[in-house]
Each structure stands twice: as structure tokens, then as C-alpha cells.
């Protein structure tokens, strides 16, 4: 009798060979050349040709009307939430099962996250459970959704495309409409993921991307906000550049802005990474297919596949242990990491993190269950392929 841990290690090593990081960036194209160009131009900071090019190419790739490049995904979420009208004292629906940045960005606006549950298949915000919760705890007053228990306005929701798998946006958009919520998508993990052809991050008012070193493409640190309205995008870009009114030499600012603009040096890296994106997506899908074959007969665990009708970028490959095997998770993680296969559990639920412990919440049964059963395994592009 082999243990679940032994069966998992055998399947992972069949695909990943002798050991592998969780997710490593790959620089095989014009990265060095474009960074050298930026240095040679002396435009290394918040102005430069690469920033504009990066924004235009992101918009073209995603089908958004405009993209605004910023210093990281958290800043992208912060400005997107401000553009959605989130203000001090508001509440914003955030899944409990996400990275801390989603909730922190809400707090930066002076608002409170209001935690909602996930759906069991792919871990995204669950539209049915959210609708039932809002029906139970909110009233619509003067066109606003008001939490009857706290008396606060629930202004927006932030669906997250967990590990690159698209959340159920069509149903979530209907909930948003019925309850008068603005929609900001956290697409930090889902560049290249689409539902029925529509790119993640382009269904609501705005979508936030991240280009941190562990994401599908990287700019070192970086992020972007996707918009379908060019005027909103222009306003957001203005806010990210200290709200300075354009003028050849005068310093005038018409709002409290932010120093959030992506530096040209980082955008140079990003332009080269975008050129490689299609090939990385192909490679990550092929990796998923190899893992699918390796895990087909492994009992006790299933590999998360893309949702029906969607195309995932397969950012992180995800194992979900069967119910009842929760207690084995840490042993499996220890064994995988000891064997050289860098593996991680999912984030601790945000509803349990001290800074957000007092935040309002729905029943989080599914999120609690998933949080104890998820294991991410080595997922880099080109893993196991000949270099
Ligand atoms: C990475 C990530 C972010 C934040 O992006 P940074 O660029 O690290 O600030 C936000 N939300 C999710 C779900 C992420 O994975």
C-alpha cells in the first residue's frame, strides 16, 4: 500500500523530473535588449516609450479599451476601487479565499471587506451563495445596497480568478446588477484566461492585473488596470501620476493623487514578456495536460481543470484532496518540498487574518473546506520541456 503522499510525488516527478520551483519567470526573448534600450534612452522612471507601448499591447491582447500600467497589482486594485466609487465607510464584497492584497486594497479606500464564499469547483466567488447572502442581509435603499446589520453601503464586489481559472462572471454580473454593486475584477492571476472568448478583467468597470515575479509574465514588480471606458482610464492614469495637470513646467494638482505609475524600466521588461506570452500559455496548457495524465489514476486527489466554456492560463497547477483527507495535507506538503518539488497550500482565509478579523462575512463553508485541501505544485512555463 502506498500513501497518498507517495502517489502524489510519483505523479509530480513523472512530469517535473528531479525537482522544481513553484513558479519561476522565464526570460528567453528581448528582455535584456529592451531593458538596455530603456537605460540608453535615460528614461527609466515614470515616463517613456515602453510604458505607452506596454499599455497599448495589453489593451490589444485583452480586448480592453485601455490599460493603465502601475507599480503593482495592489495599486491597480486600489485605484480601480476608487474609480468604482468606493469610499470611507463602505463595504466591498471580497471572497475570503484570495491573496491578502484583494482585501487590503479595500481597506486603503477606508472601506471594509465583506467576505463571501467560494464555489467548490474552481474556488471563485460563488454567485448563488452571494445572492442568497445579500437577500438575507441587505436592503436596496435609494438605489444603494445597504447592509441591514451594519447600516453601511455595500458598494462593489471584487471577483477573483483564482490560480487563473475564470470566476462565473455572467452570473456574478447579474447579482451585481440586481444589488446595484460596481464590479472590479481581481485578474492578477489570470492574464490570458478567457470565458467564451472574453478576457478576464473586462466584464465589469475595471480589472486589475499583476506582473509580480511569480505571475504568468513579470515586469519585476508591476500591475495594470483594464478599462472598457477610455475616459475612466484617462482619469485613473491621472490619479496614478500625482493628479498633475499637464503643463510644460508648472506644478498644479487637482486631486490627492498617487505615485503609482509603472517605471519605463519595468515596462521594457514587460514588452518583451508580452511577446513571449502566447508561447508560455501554450506551454502551460501542455504542462496541465501532462499532469492530467499523470494524476488520472491517483486516488484521493484531483487536479483542477479549466471551467466549462472557459480557457484558463493555468497559472498555478492545483491539486484538491478528497474530503476526509484534510489531515494529510501538511504531511504531503512536507514530503513534496523535501523531494525538491516546491509546493504550497492556498492562502489562509482572509476572514481569519488578524487585520480583517472584525470584517462582516457570509457563511464560508466552501472556502473553509477548500482552504484545507488545496496544494499548488510546480507550474512554471516550460517545466519538463527540453530547453
Ligand atoms: C498577486 C496578487 C495580487 C497583488 O499583486 P501585487 O502585484 O503582488 O501587488 C492581488 N490579488 C491576487 C489574487 C494576487 O494573486
User: Which residue has a Cα nearest atom 2 of ligand 1?
Assistant: 188
Q: In the predicted model, what is the mean pLDDT of the chain?
A: 97
**Predicted pLDDT of residue 18:** 87
State the distance from the centre of ligand 1 to the C-alpha of 70, rounded, in angstroms: 13
Structural domains in the chain (count) = 2
Do residues 358 and 345 share a domain? yes
Q: Which of these three, 242, 275, 308, is where a domain ends?
A: 275
Q: Which of these three, 275, 305, 325, is where a domain ends?
A: 275
Is the pLDDT at 222 greater than 90, yes or no? yes
Do residues 46 and 83 share a domain? yes
Report whether residue 210 contacts ligand 1, using a CB cutoff of 6 Å: yes
The answer to whether the Cα torsion of 51, 57, 59, 61 is positive or negative is negative
Is the pLDDT at 238 greater than 70, yes or no? yes
74-131 pLDDT per residue, tens: 999 999 999 999 999 999 999 999 999 999 999 999 999 999 999 999 999 999 999 9
Do residues 196 and 299 share a domain? no
**Predicted pLDDT of residue 2:** 73
Do residues 103 and 51 share a domain? yes
The domain that contains 242 carries what CATH number?
3.40.640.10
Do residues 290 and 357 share a domain? yes
Ligand 1 atom with the shortest distance to the CA of 222: 7
313-364 pLDDT per residue, tens: 999 999 999 999 999 999 999 999 999 999 999 999 999 999 999 999 999 9
State the distance from the centre of ligand 1 to the C-alpha of 178, rounded, in angstroms: 28
Do residues 233 and 281 share a domain? no
Do residues 87 and 196 share a domain? yes
Is the pLDDT at 387 greater than 60, yes or no? no
215 band by pLDDT with thresholds 50, 70 and 90: very high
User: Which residue has a Cα nearest atom 14 of ligand 1?
Assistant: 188
**Predicted pLDDT of residue 157:** 98
The domain that contains 346 carries what CATH number?
3.90.1150.10
State the residue range of the domain holding 311: 3-27+277-384
Report whether residue 91 contacts ligand 1, using a CB cutoff of 6 Å: no
State the distance from the centre of ligand 1 to the C-alpha of 185, rounded, in angstroms: 12
Ligand 1 atom with the shortest distance to the CA of 77: 10
Do residues 135 and 225 share a domain? yes
Do residues 7 and 97 share a domain? no
Q: Which of these three, 246, 275, 304, is where a domain ends?
A: 275
Do residues 257 and 118 share a domain? yes
State the distance from the centre of ligand 1 to the C-alpha of 2, rounded, in angstroms: 37
Report whether residue 4 contacts ligand 1, using a CB cutoff of 6 Å: no
Percent of the chain with pLDDT over 90: 96
Amino acid at each position: 500500500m502506498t500513501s497518498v503522499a507517495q502517489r502524489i510525488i510519483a505523479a509530480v516527478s513523472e512530469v517535473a523530473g528531479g525537482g522544481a520551483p513553484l513558479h519561476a519567470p522565464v526570460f528567453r526573448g528581448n528582455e535584456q535588449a529592451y531593458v538596455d534600450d530603456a537605460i540608453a534612452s535615460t528614461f527609466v522612471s515614470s515616463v517613456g516609450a515602453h510604458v505607452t507601448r506596454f499599455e497599448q499591447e495589453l489593451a490589444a491582447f485583452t480586448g480592453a479599451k485601455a490599460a493603465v500600467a502601475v507599480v503593482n497589482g495592489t495599486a491597480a486594485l486600489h485605484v480601480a476601487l476608487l474609480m468604482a466609487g468606493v469610499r470611507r465607510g463602505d463595504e466591498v464584497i471580497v471572497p475570503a479565499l484570495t491573496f491578502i492584497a484583494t482585501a487590503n486594497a479595500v481597506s486603503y479606500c477606508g472601506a471594509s471587506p465583506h467576505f463571501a464564499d467560494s464555489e467548490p469547483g474552481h474556488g471563485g466567488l460563488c454567485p448563488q451563495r452571494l445572492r442568497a447572502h445579500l437577500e438575507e442581509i441587505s436592503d436596496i435603499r435609494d438605489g444603494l445596497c445597504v447592509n441591514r446589520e451594519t447600516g453601511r453601503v455595500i458598494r462593489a464586489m471584487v471577483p477573483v480568478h483564482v490560480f487563473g481559472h475564470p470566476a462565473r462572471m455572467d452570473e456574478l454580473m447579474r447579482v451585481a446588477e440586481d444589488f446595484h454593486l460596481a464590479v472590479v475584477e481581481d485578474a492578477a492571476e489570470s492574464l490570458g484566461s478567457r470565458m467564451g472568448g472574453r478576457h478576464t478583467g473586462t466584464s465589469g468597470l475595471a480589472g486589475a492585473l499583476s506582473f509580480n515575479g511569480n505571475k504568468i509574465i513579470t515586469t519585476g514588480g508591476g500591475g495594470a488596470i483594464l478599462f472598457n471606458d477610455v475616459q475612466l482610464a484617462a482619469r485613473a492614469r491621472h490619479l496614478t501620476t500625482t493628479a498633475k495637470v499637464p503643463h510644460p513646467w508648472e506644478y498644479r494638482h487637482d486631486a490627492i493623487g498617487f505615485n503609482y505609475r509603472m517605471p519605463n524600466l519595468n515596462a521594457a521588461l514587460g514588452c518583451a514578456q508580452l511577446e513571449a506570452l502566447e508561447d508560455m500559455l501554450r506551454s502551460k496548457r501542455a504542462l496541465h495536460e501532462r499532469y492530467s495524465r499523470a494524476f488520472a489514476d491517483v486516488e484521493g486527489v484531483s487536479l483542477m481543470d479549466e471551467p466549462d466554456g472557459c480557457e484558463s492560463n493555468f497559472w498555478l497547477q492545483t491539486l484538491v484532496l478528497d474530503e476526509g483527507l484534510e489531515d494529510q495535507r501538511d504531511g504531503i506538503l512536507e514530503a513534496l518540498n523535501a523531494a525538491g518539488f516546491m509546493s504550497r497550500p492556498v492562502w489562509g482565509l482572509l476572514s481569519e487574518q488578524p487585520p480583517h478579523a472584525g470584517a462582516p462575512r457570509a457563511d464560508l463553508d466552501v472556502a473553509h473546506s477548500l482552504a484545507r485541501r488545496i496544494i499548488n505544485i510546480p507550474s512554471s512555463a516550460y517545466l519538463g520541456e527540453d530547453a
